[in-house]
Amino acid sequence: MAKKVKKDNMEQDTVSAVVVDQPIVNTLEENYMPYAMSVIISRAIPEIDGFKPSHRKLLYTMYKMGLLNGNRTKSANVVGQTMKLNPHGDASIYETMVRLTRGNEALLHPFVDSKGSFGKQYSKMAYAASRYTEVKLDSICAEIFNGIDHDAVDMVDNYDNTLKEPSLLPTSFPNILVSPNTGIAVGMASSICSFNLSEICETAIMLINDPSCDFSTTLLAPDFSTGAQLLFNKSQISEVYETGKGNIRLRAKYNFQKSDNCIEITEIPYSTTSEAIMDKIEELVKAGKLKEISDARDETDINGLKIAIDLKRGHDPDKLMAKLFKLTPLEDNFSCNFNILIAGHPKTMGVREIIDEWHAWRSECIKREIYYDLEQKSAKLHLLKGLEKILLDIDKAIAIIRNTENERDVVPNLCDGFDIDVIQAEYIADIKLRNLNKEYILNRTAEISKLEDEIQDLEDTLKSSRKIDSIIIKQLKNVKNKYGIPRKTEIIYQDNIEYEPEINTVEDYPVFIVMTRDGYFKKISLQSLRGNDEQKLKDGDKIIYSSEISNTAELLFFTTDSNLYKAKLSEFDSIKASALGEYIPSKLSFEQDEKFAGFLAETNFKGSVLFVYANGKAVIVPADSYQTKLNRKKLVSAISSEAPIVSILRLEENQERDVLIKSNNKRIMLIKTSLIPQKLKRNSSGVQILKLRAGDYVESAVFAEDSADTNILKYRKTSVPSPGFIYNPIDVKENQIEM
């Protein structure tokens, strides 16, 4: 492809069009890539201090306006001043401020102390205009600006090079893990959940002292400003801690008012709103799926969130809530993606790595502060050393100044008279005449010894990483003691959760399903199937599964990345046999380059599943290993990743069947399923069944009665592993074609 550029010749009466070919690669490089990098680096992805540029510019402006210790000012004043650093318009600046305020309740530790209506995180309620609201910096901001006036961070030019602003804010605690952050850039995104400040400070101290320690005892789980309950799943939490990716399951808190027969919901998941919940409840009531409810109201007011649900008489509130948790956003996921800018480059990290990065960066901030103080004290000591020298003969100093005819010669004459440098001489020359007395000079020079000790201590600290760490730890303890608050999100361990039986809101009727090798799925009504059972397939595709089954069944789609995607059969629309069907990798949002590998349709999850792999191994896994109490759509490590999967065969309880296995080099064997071991672990690789030579692989595995072959009993093996027999292609049933 090429980009066409039209150039007009304004000097001619007629306009001649000149077409210049430009490779699209160059167009992307020159135009799109700078835009993409600008969005990633300058707008959407937070940095190690826990802020995006828009947050940082706003808070720094408020800091320079004296709003850390002063009185509140109108939000419009702050917005106007911030435009000197942030040129993206007053609306976006004010929207950024709203989220940082105490009134909005989006953060566990707000950075802006606010007065007025700023909306709510848990509601779509609009916030008041900036001319009506007032703001100042919250007290915790003293910790995010700690050392900024002592050269702790780099100061860079603003967009028009008229002002300086900090490249980062020198936060004295890992704010990146305390303040939640979400952002969508070009080709990437970031979603960071919040953690309790006290837990984060304790964890940071533990990791500074021992980088390899297990911090799960101090960092219990994420904590959200909207409270609610967190359904603790150790494997999910560990995945988030280790990789920075994963899902956190949250559910609402409620209480039952028996006198009014009313459920009151007072806390909801961070990722939803009261309006979204009410809309879903209303939709389900109209559809007749929540017949237990007589009325539902959003009673959110100045006192906080409250959703009231009136029950009809005779219904159990806990069973209704279990139903609502499954059908509405009252139970919801927070998707984690800890993507952070490190030295200008986006990087996805786990908690340990994030705290390590913050520790290294914070250590550098402390060193810069110490170096700044060292320079200031050294300069002062240098001046006092010069002052000390004139103490020996104050009269001489006065005489030199009095007898010097030209003002420009005062400093050189003092340098010659007392063997001091120009800086010291300038300092002495600027001393008021009334201070040229012994008492003043003695009082000033008495600081020399103290300054020398302080300078020595600063130099020793600069050379010692242990002393730097002790300063960081001391600051972390101070932050924890001063600003730490109890957890808002209650941790509920899933082992203690009583789940209600699956709520069947799906009509139960038989349908016919078809699954093809290339990943196309069809759900066909039996009425539509009658008289038209010829299935349309994509060229080169073939059917691997077809059966009549209940509409309430669960569908299990295994992939080449060893993952399992689950779906309800009822979620698929019925189509005709003449249609290709729905492409499963697209419908279920498979990962990039992830392909369909195998299929099961389940109605009861009883019995077991036989997996046969291309490397000649096989394993039997209990079917209930793939049954989930929560409505999970994806299971990772669902099958072995050692080799591609060849066949998935379903076994009923205590059932033994004959399986016929073939390889590409015409080896064949018939074995009983009792020879294959059963494993409890889903991703077990199993045991070797068919011995293979280098380059060979298993081609197929089917139940004996489903095979097109005859005389298969002569291929039976009573022990494994085995190289099998040489396959005789004559042993094929008449009028059947081998697939």
Residue 580 and residue 205: Cα distance in Å, rounded? 59
Residues in the chain: 739
Residue 137 and residue 144: Cα distance in Å, rounded? 11
Q: Are 397 and 436 in contact (CB under 8 A)?
A: yes
**Order of strands across the sheet that contains 634-635:** 596-602, 554-559, 564-568, 634-635
Distance of CA 255 to the CA centre of its chain: 31
Residue 427 and residue 600: Cα distance in Å, rounded? 87
What count of Cα atoms within 13 Å lies in the side-chain half-sphere of residue 525? 7
Active-site residue, 132 included: yes
Q: In angstroms, how far is the first alpha carbon of the chain from the final one?
A: 42
Question: Which amino acid belongs to residue 43?
Answer: R
**In terms of Cα–Cα distance, which of 709, 85, 106, 84 is closest to 95?**
106
Residue 305 and residue 315: Cα distance in Å, rounded? 25
Tokens of 694: 């280098």
Rg of the chain over all Cα atoms, to the nearest angstrom:
36
Q: Are 174 and 354 in contact (CB under 8 A)?
A: yes
Residue 102 and residue 79: Cα distance in Å, rounded? 17
Q: Give helix then strand counts, H and E, for the chain.
A: 19, 33
Classify strands 608-613 and 645-651 as parallel, antiparallel or unpaired: antiparallel
Is 122 exposed, middle or buried (CB count within 10 Å of its CB: 0-12, 13-18, 19+)? Answer: buried
Going by the DSSP 8-state scheme, the letter that residue 15 receives in this structure is P
Cα 235 to Cα 256, 269, 421: the distances in Å are: 32, 21, 68
Catalytic residue among 32, 132, 493, 509: 132
**In terms of Cα–Cα distance, which of 633, 626, 738 is closest to 681?**
626
Active site residues: 132
